[in-house]
Amino acid sequence: MESPATNTDHARTREANQAHPERHHEQRSDRSKGATERPGYGQLLRTEGAWSFLLPGFLARQPYAMLTISIVLLVEHTTGSFGLAGAVSATAGIAMAVIAPQSGRLADRFGQGAVLFPQVFLHALTIAALIAVAVLDAPLWALFVAAVPAGATAPQISPMVRARWAARLQGTPLMTTAAAFESVTDEFTFVVGPVLATALCTGVHPAAGLVAEAAVSLVGGLVFAAQRRTQPASARAGGAGGKEAPVHGADGGTASALAVPGARVLVAAVLGIGMVFGGMQVSLTAFTESIGRPGINGVMYGAFAAGNMLAAVAVGAIRWKRGPQTRLLAAYPALVLAAALVAVAAQLGPWAVLLGALGTLAGLCVAPCMITCFTLIETLVPAGARTEAFTWLTGAVALGQAAGSTVAGQLADHSGAGAGFFAPLAGTGLALLVLLAFRGALHPPHGSLVAARGLGHRTTVPVD
């Protein structure tokens, strides 16, 4: 039974609707539009200022996928050893993964442009030094010494692009679409970059891959850094009244993004995903060589990568009703199951078609996990630590790749070509245990949610 006051309100509403029918129609249209609007890629790419950082960002991130393969090809040419070339390349990759979060932290504190401008010049100099050491037949220890700064100074463009998306889209459904778009772009980069580097090293000069890597890093990095209008406000500016607040530790100093427990859980999850990438690359190479068909290695890994890209496109196009925490806890077990199927199939016999199909399935399961991890970390860490947080995840992928390729290679050498596929299974299995044990850390610690009301408009909604 309604109160007299309520009946009076209903009467007033009916009178207003009768007096202004066009206004009533507009209100109903707006609600209908809001209910049916989907956070698709078209809407994402129409975000104000997006193209100003997407195009230079796409160019500037290509060297990230060219660096390690270019080092392998140059060092193998000058030393004649793939083993030594791989070790030097891994040294650069580990240095990149360890130092990247620190450069991200500096970018959060001082601004992306302030970090990128000196970083790209320093990277070009360290690449030149590595080329000189390799070409001039310097002692082997010099190669490892030169590889450390070459990897450590590599610009982290992908996390910076993700941080720009997060700054513009925080709290909107488009954040998942942006994460999916970036995953597709990264996957495409890792398809094009190695092919370009290999063509330059084999067709022009063994050092041409690294020369191109340094040149594109310099030009692309400078153009990207010049787009200051779209970069997130630095923590220093936030402290002076800007929007981005710095992250403080218990002692009052600036804390790392890893101070957030959920961020550490996501790093473990992404490490497992990295082991899938590294383990699949080495294991497929060993498998195809063992069956006498090394030429299909590219096709089989391409099927895995295609599955990853297709799933990433689909994840970004869907308007999810479940939260990212639920999606991750549902998607990761599927990834572990797919890795288990691939490992078992590799033991059954030289069935390349079956293994290729299951590899595609594994790729389909990778993208939802990866995208959700990047979506989640944006909700867990403070705004002033976004770039650092994203670089921890990309660094974890690199470390996982190095670990996965190393473990898979050792298993393939000592237990047969098919044994290498147990490396992705082990990595994802351990990561799943961490996710399940610490799943409570995946929820934001504050007591409010952010509800989207159009791009650039966010309202804090209290939660009972």
Question: Tokens 């409570």 label which residue?
Answer: 440
Q: Which CATH architecture best describes the domain 48-235?
A: Up-down Bundle (1.20)
For residue 445, the model assigns a pLDDT of 66
- Read off φ and ψ for residue 254, nearest 5 degrees: -75, 125
| pLDDT given for residue 245 in this prediction | 47
Q: Nearest CA to 387 among 231, 236, 260?
A: 231
- In this structure, are residues 101 and 220 in contact, taking their beta carbons and an 8 Å threshold? no
The torsion of the CA quartet 408, 414, 418, 420, rounded to 10 degrees, works out to -10
- Residues 6+ positions from 69 with CB-CB distance below 8 Å: 89, 193, 194, 197, 198, 209
How many helices (H) and strands (E) would you count in the chain? Answer: 17, 2
Domain ranges within the chain, ordered by starting residue: 48-235, 257-446
Quick check: 433 and 285 in contact, CB under 8 A? no
Q: What is the predicted pLDDT for the residue at 5?
A: 44
3-state secondary structure of 156: coil
Q: Which CATH architecture has domain 257-446?
A: Up-down Bundle (1.20)
Choose among 244, 283, 233, 259: nearest CA to 410.
283
pLDDT at 98: 85
Tens of pLDDT along the chain (464 residues)? 444 444 444 444 444 445 444 434 433 333 333 333 456 778 888 888 888 888 888 888 888 878 877 887 888 888 877 667 778 888 888 888 888 888 888 888 888 888 899 999 999 999 999 999 999 988 989 999 999 999 999 998 888 888 888 888 877 778 778 887 887 888 778 767 777 887 888 889 999 999 999 999 999 999 998 888 888 877 665 544 444 444 444 444 456 777 888 899 999 999 999 889 888 877 887 888 888 887 787 788 778 888 888 888 888 777 778 888 999 999 999 999 999 999 999 988 888 889 989 999 999 999 899 989 988 888 888 877 777 888 888 888 888 877 887 788 788 888 888 898 999 999 999 999 999 999 998 887 654 343 333 333 333 333 33
Distance of CA 80 to CAs 71, 72, 73, 130, 136, Å?
13, 11, 10, 17, 14
φ and ψ at residue 231, rounded to 5 degrees: -75, 150
Choose among 156, 154, 155, 176: nearest CA to 165: 176
What secondary structure letter does DSSP report for 74?
A: H
Which pLDDT value is given to residue 190? 73
Nearest-angstrom CA–CA distance, 51 and 463: 36
Same fold, 48-235 and 257-446: yes
**DSSP classification of residue 67:** H
**Phi and psi of 265, rounded to 5°?**
-65, -40
Q: What was the pLDDT predicted at 243?
A: 45
**Neighbour tally for 406: CB within 10 Å:** 17
170: nearest Cα among 458, 462, 447, 368: 458
Report the DSSP beta bridge partners of residue 458.
452
Compute the half-sphere exposure of residue 347: CA atoms within 13 Å on the CB side of its CA.
11
pLDDT at 39: 62
